[in-house]
Copies of this chain bind each other. A is one copy, B any other.
Amino acid sequence: MSAAADTSTAPDPSAPRDTYTPTDRTVPTRSRQRASYDKELVHSILDEAYVCHLGFVRDGAPVVLPTLFGRVGERLYVHGSTGSRPLRAAGDGVSAPGLPVCLTVTHVDGLVLARSAFHHSLNYRSVVVHGTAHQVTDPEELRTALDALVDHVVPGRSADSRPGNAKELAATAVIRLDLDEVSAKVRTGGPNDDAEDLDLPYWAGVIPVQGGHGTPVPSGDLDPSVALPGYLAAL
């Protein structure tokens, strides 16, 4: 409601480009004051998420699937098998036109309880990316993308695991989506009850929603001499 309001103004074209340019698709029809095009905010929301929800059109109908992704600068990489339907459809951008997609990431930060049922809400941070995805065919970019996918799950992990071999790389398809038509939406703060409801005898406020990690569970077949690395203990 408030925290993102000061970043929702149109970018100054003469300033260094640290915002995305709003388009018809990225300006919300309501709660516009919650929208932001700030690149740093968008990156932080994306990087904190374990999965995105990838939408595409198949036989005229929408499909939304949860999937792993990674980010390298202004490029997102989404992972799949070479046999998966969306990845086949994406093509390589040369022989095929690419796949129109919408990639969305959402964090729920709090339950907003108002006196009125009408004003119940959630505190959240979300990013919506529109664009056309293309299959990554360059071997160098494919390796970079796969490292980014692993490091997105645990930063630093790609350097502490066995890299993909030729057979695995051949069985893996990755599509690329550029961060260009992008918006964030953020709600923070308490409930916005109507003035005449403030004296009603209902509890009102926010229940924070928290995420975190539990104690690491070693694989049953892990050699006991392999200690938990510091980057995992620090999660």
Residues of A participating in the B interface, judged by any CB pair closer than 8 Å: 25, 29-30, 50-51, 53-57, 60-66, 68, 81, 83-85, 100-104, 106, 108, 111, 113-118, 120, 122, 124, 126, 128, 130, 146-147, 149-150, 153-154, 157-158, 160-165, 168, 172, 190-191, 193, 197-223, 226-229, 232, 235
Contact = CB atoms under 8 A, between A and B. Distances in A.
A224 to B, nearest CB: 11
Nearest to A79: B120
B66 A62 contact: no
A223 to B, nearest CB: 7
A230 to B, nearest CB: 10
Contact of A117 (B53, B164, B219): B164
A217 B197 contact: no
B124 A51 contact: yes
Given A60-B100, A213-B209, A160 B122 contact: no
A129 to B, nearest CB: 9
A1 to B, nearest CB: 13
Given A50-B111, A216-B207, A64 B103 contact: yes
Complex copy number for this chain: 2
Contact of A210 (B85, B111, B158, B212): B212
A210 B213 contact: yes
A62 to B, nearest CB: 4
Given A64-B102, A207-B217, 7 more contacts: A51-B106, A64-B64, A66-B126, A117-B163, A118-B162, A120-B149, A204-B218
Given A56-B62, A226-B203, A116 B164 contact: yes
A90 to B, nearest CB: 13
A141 to B, nearest CB: 16
A83 B219 contact: no
A26 to B, nearest CB: 11
Given A55-B62, A122-B50, A222-B204, A157 B217 contact: no
